[in-house]
Amino acid sequence: MIDVDKALGTAVKTGKVLLGTKKAVESVKLGRAKLIVVASNCPRNIMEDITYYGKLSGVPVVIYKGTSIDLGAVCGKPFPVSALTVREPGDSDILRLGERAREDSFEGSEAAEGTDA
């Protein structure tokens, strides 16, 4: 089982990630993303755009179980983060989330979501 919070933190520190919904939509449209993580409270229209373009370009989209404030904290940022784009995972095994999402054939399976309870 992957520790999502730890993997996200490692990806932010050692890999190439972009924060924000505009960058996520842009990256997924251009197929430059390897994985998109979207907070559970991301605005519906933006989440729909990201998942739609993710399916078209084959980029896995995972719904993070926590809010944008939780996702920001996991990334070590003092502000909310609604979407995180992973371009290079660095030392993280975060891309395993994308593999799980593909296997389950829908975004955000319980095994691929969230924070430790």
HEC string of the chain? CCCHHHHHHHHHHHCEEEECHHHHHHHHHHCCCCEEEEECCCCHHHHHHHHHHHHHHCCCEEEECCCHHHHHHHCCCCCCCCEEEEEECCCCCCHHHHHHHHHHCCCCCHHHCCCCC
Residue 2's pLDDT is what?
A: 73
Mean pLDDT in runs of 10 for the chain (117 residues)? Answer: 85 94 93 94 94 93 93 94 94 82 46 42
Residue 101's pLDDT is what?
A: 63
Residue 107's pLDDT is what?
A: 38
Q: What is the CATH number that goes with domain 4-108?
A: 3.30.1330.30
Residue 104's pLDDT is what?
A: 52
Residue 112's pLDDT is what?
A: 42
> Which tokens belong to 113?
């979501």
Q: With a threshold of 0.85, does the pTM exceed it? A: no
**Chain centre distance of CA 34:** 9
